[in-house]
A and B are shown apart, each in its own frame.
Chain A
């Protein structure tokens, strides 16, 4: 494509303006605040790298980092697999398929208060349907107290998060699947390729840019999980279900420590940034933009 040197800048101008003023501006202030003691209400005081050394030497911080990684490791593949499965299912030409698409999308738009209420009830120790099923059909005598158990609280939240997020990523996959020309499948069918071969020879490679996008997107969402923790466990018991962004919120607004919260946010950025950079480096190996 031929274009003058300045042309690309016109295309990115609105985005770059917004990025600079409304995103980068506040972030730079926040980054500066990470070197201060700041309770929001009154002027910050400079304390050097104190917040960083405190975080690195804090047991709670590392527990929270560990929780975040554990959460991500289940959440990202969970959402991607479920979303892809849903997208493939609803990409068929079947009667009433639009109805199913709508239903799978519902969790994403249902208000979190309602979601939390229902899932709290599902996970309830005594009267929850999950433990009812476990004791009556699987004869497990002492099922866990899911959300009150330090081992199970985080996995339980992860399940809720996968349930809530998958419909959204399904839509992205679906948009990607729709972009694959049907002529390719017809040609493959003439060549005698079965459905499985068609998936691995056509769908998967052609969907790889979208898959990559969903991956990065899900990764960022995994690190930013907040609402579900906030409404269901509050991060407990004893920080067992606290993840980084929730911890940052707690420090910023509950514990009166905006300075410390911003230092944590910078550390978070380093972690997610490293993983994302690595993902981009690995991208060439499996992402195809054209067949």
Chain B
């Protein structure tokens, strides 16, 4: 406020803070249009009749505001047992993401704040394994799951993700590293064990990072197609991504249904995102420095 007074030429009393806000909104809106455009288009496509999906130049959905507008959604939800698939996906992705929170934060803590033999080697291995494309590991993995007798169960979809995640471990390591050692020392003087320090100091201070990790792990597992297709045979165990492939045939797909299904399938992600993002931005404020 004082700054604007000192500039003599500011005749219209324009507050630079207001300018910044206006510029921010302009930038935000401009970028938002780019981001949301394909999503809106997908939505539009779900209101097209089957033959009109790929018309070029593209048209506004020919079913919008007509009696059969939501036919694609109705068909997806009723005919293909999508609710069941959604519940299955929620379970699989939820378990895998919860596991990530626990195992990645534990390992990240050790990597960030402790010294032990083989630490760098282990971290190096962890990082390297994430650089090997799944195309070459999936067949050996399938053979392993087959040997374990885990085919047609959720174990191959949950257990590996539950136990190990490079992204999560690495991320928690970096976030934990920024927590000052003084906090640890103070707690040590109070006689806290390492696990207690991890649980009562590091975890509460990392709510934004943990929430981000949960979100990313959840989305990652939710969107996985290859593993559910390979490992699941029973239709009652199918996940949403596998369900979406039921609109594909040998010579093409039923695109309006496929995209209606895709739209439905990201709804849970959006809901989880909306809940999660509050913890990401308010995490520190709500937990505070204890």
Contacts and interface: CB of A to CB of B under 8 A. Distances in A.
Whether chains A and B associate is: yes
Interface of A: 1-3, 5, 7-9, 11-12, 14-19, 21-27, 29-30, 33, 40, 86, 89-92, 94, 97-98, 100-111, 113-115, 117-119, 121, 124, 126-127, 163, 167-168, 171-172, 174-176, 178-179, 181, 206, 209-210, 212-213, 216-217, 220, 223-224, 226, 245, 248-249, 252-253, 258, 261-262, 265, 268-269, 272-273, 276, 289-290
Nearest to A171: B212
B163 A14 contact: yes
12 contacts: A18-B103, A18-B162, A24-B129, A25-B144, A26-B138, A30-B136, A89-B24, A101-B277, A119-B38, A224-B131, A245-B133, A290-B180
Contacts of A26: 137-138, 140-141, 144
B116 A8 contact: yes
Interface in B6-41: 21, 24-25, 27-28, 31-32, 34-39, 41
A30 B132 contact: yes
Interface residues of B, number: 98
A175 B139 CA distance: 36
Nearest to A168: B216
A102 B273 contact: yes
Given A11-B107, A14-B102, A21-B144, 12 more contacts: A9-B116, A12-B106, A12-B116, A14-B163, A18-B103, A18-B160, A27-B129, A91-B281, A105-B277, A110-B266, A181-B284, A252-B139
Given A11-B114, A30-B136, A249-B133, A210 B175 contact: yes
A188 B41 CA distance: 45
A210 B131 CA distance: 20
B122 to A, nearest CB: 7
A249 B167 CA distance: 22
B136 A258 contact: yes
A212 B110 CA distance: 19
A23 B160 contact: yes
B60 interface: no
B137 A27 contact: yes
Contacts of B27: 89
A114 B180 contact: no
Given A30-B136, A248-B136, A107 B35 contact: yes
B284 A206 contact: no
Contacts of B167: 217
Nearest to B23: A89
Residue among A103, A111, A248 having the largest count of chain B Cβ atoms under 10 Å = A111
B188 A1 contact: yes
Interface string B98-131: 0000111011011101111001001001111111
Interface stretch (B63-71, B75-83, B87-95, B257-265): B257-265
B171 interface: yes
Interface string B180-221: 110011001000001001100000010011011001100100
A265 B270 contact: no
